[in-house]
Every structure is written in structure tokens, then in C-alpha cells.
Amino acid sequence: MLRIALDAMGADNGVAPVVDGLLSSLQNKQFYALLVGNEALLKSFLDSKHLSDAILQRIQIVHANDFIQMTESASTANKRVDTSIYQAMQLLKKHEADACVSAGHSGATMSLATLQIGRIKGVSRPAICTCMPTITSNPSVILDAGANTDCKPEYLVDFAIMGFHYAKKVLGYANPRVGLLANGEEDSKGNELTKEAFKLLKSYDFFKGNVEGSDIFNGSVDVIICDGFAGNLVLKASEGVASSINIILKQQIKKSFLNILGYMLMKPAFQSLRNKIDYAEYGGAPLLGVKKPVIISHGKSNARAMECAIYQAAVGCETQVCDIIQEAFNNQDKGS
Amino acid sequence: MLRIALDAMGADNGVAPVVDGLLSSLQNKQFYALLVGNEALLKSFLDSKHLSDAILQRIQIVHANDFIQMTESASTANKRVDTSIYQAMQLLKKHEADACVSAGHSGATMSLATLQIGRIKGVSRPAICTCMPTITSNPSVILDAGANTDCKPEYLVDFAIMGFHYAKKVLGYANPRVGLLANGEEDSKGNELTKEAFKLLKSYDFFKGNVEGSDIFNGSVDVIICDGFAGNLVLKASEGVASSINIILKQQIKKSFLNILGYMLMKPAFQSLRNKIDYAEYGGAPLLGVKKPVIISHGKSNARAMECAIYQAAVGCETQVCDIIQEAFNNQDKGS
């Protein structure tokens, strides 16, 4: 049975959403959970849930004394062997777990995944791969969503290869189309970094050229490549727009009774919209380019987001996406 | 009376939105318009409107044989003296106009503004300054929105100084707060470029540190500084989110009669939202850092956007924002 190591500590809202998400996922999916964190805390939390033996038998608490707080620097993560994320990563390293999920300090998770699990041979830098809703029925994939603030053109090529195989194997897209995020669609557009990357990417069959910020949501390509700084900016700006529209609309709705009535009638439509653009439904973000499935969840993840992140870890194992990426780099696969 | 040179040619939807926007603005504001473009075309268009003498007396057509198409390169703009944008810029250069507005090729406009009108002494690079809606009653200002794809740290400092004075003088903010767009709010966040810029900006009183993509819309600062590549990405991603939400919501609304009824009742709220986030209301984007007011409008501008762009040009003249920026650079003003 699949074994997933779950870092229970260090998320913004404590252990509750992590454990609640785990319990939901255990009901829907057959796997064995290694719950890493403070044993006394986790045990009392599980006890309060009056769980069935069938569920309890699939949870093992792995004690860790310490955890890395969000305000700390990631640079010491590899020396702090008592932390929950270090211990979770060790389970993966020692083949006691098949995948690892954490909503704790993302810098520490990335650093430990790279140092302890190791990069896939040929991959210059691992990248965070995030799914985004589009106006079509298929989400798009953007990487790097924040792991590498400063990139070289070759890194972007590696992100493209990894994103292509992720979209193909994990999302099941027949022929994923890959675009390079730039300030215009024309071949001549871009900054120094993307212009160089464009030249390198031209020989790949999956490469469809430059795309713009708006293409993330319109389904014109399946995979969008950028450096981690740009990826972070566009994702946070997008969240900001969605949340601002929500706030402004609520301000307007309160202004008249007819608006309120209309809003009540439209609630199902708003709920569908919310489900479609809710980050929780997309779970966490896989760190592609390390040898085993590592899922980085948002520190603010709710139980639903943690549940989905666990499913993502399971799919990562089942589709053997890490092995497929390794094979692609071995074969210098041009995506045809 | 204020004289505004208006490039009538080269916009995506032809002369109609440009001239219609001009006619609306002439009704609301006392100024003299120098309408630059094909004389026969513009004359027949104006004739068809049956304008009053009072309006006609404030329009002078300045003939230009040629114009730069959107698909052309900006690099030859300075040699094509017969184009409408070249002629419009000459009117500004020769003191026959006080400001210039164009919805034509933005690269050509930037290039000609820099080469013909010239940079303000001390400004390393002119930047496009765009107003964005926020959840507060005050828009925020983002620059550079696309003029410079690759920047040096000093450029970002110049953008900050220009943005500060624009927000203070043109938008009337008492103490504009300036933030640097980065992948996190902590001082340690950023890429190589923004980390260096951060060090330089620290000595300015107006500088409030790093801000994230979502801060563009929440009013936490008034001015957001970034390179033109990042600025273009976040603006286009933001437009993409707003338009996708609109499309998804419409798909949902069609699914039930109650949704449609609710939508009808909520129409005033949606209209207010649309007005608030409609780019047209924000007009064009001033190119800050050149010696005279130059407004770059979106190629797809409708008449309302052109009208607002003309008001912006007028405000640019009335507030003497170019002189104020020159003074700030003369004095090495730290924004206190």
C-alpha cells in the first residue's frame, strides 16, 4: 500500500487543517499515512476525533521534537534534524515513504527535498509546478511558481520538459502545448532571459512560442514557463484580482435590496465560480525535478486543500512522474 | 488655451474611437486639438458629425501621409518623418502643442518621445505609468508597465521618484507610499535586480519596502515599482483573471432561470464593478521621464478611453508634472 509522509507542523493554522485533510483523504483513498510532528499533540488531536480502527490502523505518528517556523530562514533546515519536515524527508529518503506533503516552510521543504532526496540527473533546478483554472475545462500548469527567483535560460528549458511530462502523465493531456511567458506573443518579445530561452526551446516540438499573462487563464497553451520570480508575481496578482473583485462586488451588493435578492438567486453560479477558481481544489504544488514526489502546500491551506494535496502525492506515485521525467532527461526527449 | 496633439492613426480600431473620444472631451474641457493624420479621411469623418462651429474652431487637422502599423518594428520610427506619430511629436517639440496622445504603436511613441522630446536630465529611462483599480477609493500606480524589459537597479529608483511625484501631484495623494514588487514582503525577498534596488531605495522616506502581486489591488501602497517585463506580465495576468471570471460567471448564469433572474437584479452592482475595473476610465498611461506630457493609450482603446487619455494629457500640463519631476531630479529629492 502507498505510504505518504505528511508534515503535520509549521502550517499557518496549526495541525487542525492538516489532520482534518488527512482524515478525509483516508476515507476516499487506500494509503498509509506517516504523520510527522509532535506526538502528544497529534495523538490528543486524533483521540478527539473518535476514529474507527480501520482508519487508525492506516495512521502512524512519527515523532519530531521541533519544526521550522514561517518566520525562520530556510538556510539552517538541513542541520535541524529534529524538525518535522527533516524527519518527513528522511522517511522518503530511507524508502519508508513513497511521497511527502508539507504545508510548512516552503523554502525549507524545497531545500531539504533537493539536498536529501536529490535532483533528477540532468535537471538543473527543481521547479514548483502550480495548476491554474482556465475558462476551458482543463487547468493550465505554470512553472516555476516560486522556487528559483533568478534563472538561466537552460533552467527554463528544463522547466518546459518537466511541465510537458507532468501535463501529459499526471493531467492526462494528449499533446501538451508549452508556452514561454513574455511581454507579447511575437517571437521578438521578451527580456534577455526569455529571448535566450526562446532560442533553446525552438527545437522542441511541444513549444508553441511566447504567451502573455492573460494566456494563463484562456487555455491557449497547457503549460506556461517562467522564472520563479515572475511566476510568483503573476500568481499573487491573479489571486489579488479575484479577491478584489469579490470584495468590490460585495460592497456593491450591500447597497440595495434588489442586489441582495439577485445575489441570493445567483448563489449557485457564484458557488460554481468559487469552486472553479478555489486554490484548495488544486491542492498543493509538486516540486518537479527531485527524485521522488514532494508536494508543497500553501501555508494557509484549509482541510480541503490538504486533502487534495495528498491525492496529488498519490497520483505522483501512481503515474511515476519522477521516473518519467528522469527518462526524458536521459533520452534528451524533445517531446515528440 | 491648452493645445493637445492627438495622433489619429494606427490604433487597432481605426480613427473612429480616437475622433469620437476627442469630440466628447472637447465638450467637457476647454482646449485646442491638433488632430494628426490623413486629412481627407479625418475631414470626411468630422463632416459626417455635423459639428457646431464652436467645436470645429477648436480642431485643427495636421496632415500626415503615413502611419506606423502595429505589426511594424519601432526601430525605424525616427526616420519616418511622414508618419502621424512623428508629426504629432514634432508639434510638441516645436512648442506648437503642450502634450501628445497616441493609441498607435506604443514602441514607436516611446522611441520618438525619448529621441525627439528628450529625457528629463537625471532620469535613466522613461517609464510607462499605469493606474490600477483597488478595493479602496484610490487607484494605485504601477511603473514601469512595459517600456523597459531589462532594467538596472538605478532605473527602478528613478521609477520610484517619478511615481512618487506623479501620485502626489497628478493624483493628489498627500504622502504617496512606494513599494517594490517582489516575491514576498520580507526585506530579504526579491531577485538579483530588486534586492539591489531595495538597498538603493532604503534611504528614501517614501519607500515602504517590498510588496507582492496582490498588493497592486489592496491599496497597501500607492505606487508599485517593477521592471517593464514584470509590469507587463502582472497587468496582462490581471486583465486575464478579470475577463475569465466574467466568462465563467456568464457560463454559470446561463445554466438556470433563477441565475438569470438574479443576474438581472444584480445588474447595477455588476455595472459598478465594471466601471471600477474598466481600463477605459483610467485612460492612457503617461510616459514619465520625458520632458513633456506624452500619453500612451491602449491600441484597443474605445472612445471613452481616448477621452480619458486626453483629460490625462491636460492634467499632465496643468499640474506641470514634468517640471516637478525635473526639479526632483535636480534636487536629488528623497521624497520627504
What ipTM did this prediction achieve?
Answer: 0.90
Q: Do B241 and A238 touch (CB under 8 A)?
A: yes
One domain for residues A137 and A188: yes
One domain for residues B219 and B269: yes
Give per-residue pLDDT as tens, A239-263. 888 888 888 888 888 888 888 888 8
Q: What is the DSSP letter of A66?
A: B
Look at residue B333 in the predicted model and tell me its pLDDT. 59
One domain for residues A238 and A257: yes
Grid-cell match 498611461, residue found: B285
Q: Do B192 and A150 touch (CB under 8 A)?
A: yes
One domain for residues A116 and A253: no
Final residue belonging to a domain, choices B280, B300, B319: B280
- Which residues in chain A have Cβ-Cβ distances shorter than 8 Å to B255? 268-269
CA distance B252 to A199: 41
- Which residues in chain B have Cβ-Cβ distances shorter than 8 Å to A252? 268-270, 272-273
Q: Do B249 and A238 touch (CB under 8 A)?
A: no
One domain for residues B276 and B133: yes
Rounded mean pLDDT for each run of 10 residues along chain B, 336 residues in total: 96 94 96 97 94 95 93 88 96 98 93 96 96 90 94 98 96 96 92 97 97 93 97 91 84 83 82 73 88 94 94 96 95 64
One domain for residues B45 and B139: no
Closest residue, chain A, to B107 (C-alpha): A189
Domain around B69: 1-123+289-335
Residue contacts between A and B (CB atoms, under 8 Å): 215
- Which residues in chain B have Cβ-Cβ distances shorter than 8 Å to A149? 183, 190-192
One domain for residues A195 and A97: no
Give per-residue pLDDT as tens, A21-58. 999 999 999 999 999 999 999 999 999 999 999 999 99
Q: Do B263 and A266 touch (CB under 8 A)?
A: yes
Q: Do B262 and A259 touch (CB under 8 A)?
A: no
One domain for residues A24 and A119: yes
Which band of pLDDT confidence, cut at 50, 70 and 90, is reported for residue A269? confident
Residue A189 above 70 pLDDT? yes
- Which residues in chain B have Cβ-Cβ distances shorter than 8 Å to A182? 229
Look at residue B279 in the predicted model and tell me its pLDDT. 67
* Domains contained in chain A, number: 2
Final residue belonging to a domain, choices B241, B263, B280: B280
Grid-cell match 511581454, residue found: A183
One domain for residues B302 and B219: no
Closest residue, chain B, to A236 (C-alpha): B213
Closest residue, chain A, to B268 (C-alpha): A259
Q: Distance (Å) from the C-alpha of residue A129 to the closest C-alpha of chain B?
A: 16
Three-class DSSP labels, chain B: CCEEEEECCCCCCCHHHHHHHHHHHHHHCCCEEEEEECHHHHHHHHHCCCCCHHHHCCEEEEECCECCCCCCCHHHCCCCCCEHHHHHHHHHHCCCCCEEEECCCHHHHHHHHHHHHCECCCCCCCEEEEEECCCCCCCEEEECCCCCCCCCHHHHHHHHHHHHHHHHHCCCCCCCCEEEECCCCCCCCCCHHHHHHHHHHCCCCCEEEEECCCHHHHCCCCEEECCHHHHHHHHHHHHHHHHHHHHHHHHHHCCCHHHHHHHHHHHHHHHHHHHHHCHHHHCCEEEECECCCEEECCCCCCHHHHHHHHHHHHHHHHCCHHHHHHHHHHHCCCCC
Percent share of chain A, pLDDT over 90: 76
Look at residue B272 in the predicted model and tell me its pLDDT. 77
Look at residue B280 in the predicted model and tell me its pLDDT. 64
Which residue among B183, B236, B263 sits closest to A232, beta carbon to beta carbon? B183
CA A13 to chain centre: 18
Please compute the mean of the pLDDT values over residues A252-276 and round it to a whole number.
81
Look at residue B334 in the predicted model and tell me its pLDDT. 56
Instruction: Record the cell numbers describing residue A202, joined without a space.
Output: 525552438
**Cis omega before residue A144 (within 30°)?**
yes
Give per-residue pLDDT as tens, A111-167. 999 999 999 999 999 999 999 988 888 999 999 999 999 999 999 999 999 999 999
Q: Do B259 and A237 touch (CB under 8 A)?
A: no
Does residue A211 or residue A74 have the better pLDDT? A211
Q: Distance (Å) from the C-alpha of residue B144 to the closest C-alpha of chain A?
A: 12
A290, β-bridge pairs: A119, A288
Look at residue B256 in the predicted model and tell me its pLDDT. 83
Which helix (H) or strand (E) is A211 found in, with range? strand A207-211
Look at residue B114 in the predicted model and tell me its pLDDT. 96
Grid-cell match 502581486, residue found: B213
CA distance B293 to B284: 12
One domain for residues B244 and B311: no
Final residue belonging to a domain, choices B260, B280, B300: B280
Q: Do B212 and A236 touch (CB under 8 A)?
A: yes
Look at residue A280 in the predicted model and tell me its pLDDT. 63
Does residue A336 or residue A135 have the better pLDDT? A135
Instruction: Record the cell numbers describing residue A43, joined without a space.
Output: 495523538
Look at residue A279 in the predicted model and tell me its pLDDT. 67
What's the one-letter identity of residue B258? L
CA distance B307 to B282: 10
Q: Which of B109, B114, B106, B96 is nearest to B33 (CA)?
A: B96
Q: Do A191 and B229 touch (CB under 8 A)?
A: yes
One domain for residues A168 and A260: yes
CATH code for the domain in which residue A200 is found: 3.40.718.10
Residue A335 above 70 pLDDT? no
One domain for residues B133 and B275: yes
Q: Do B261 and A265 touch (CB under 8 A)?
A: yes
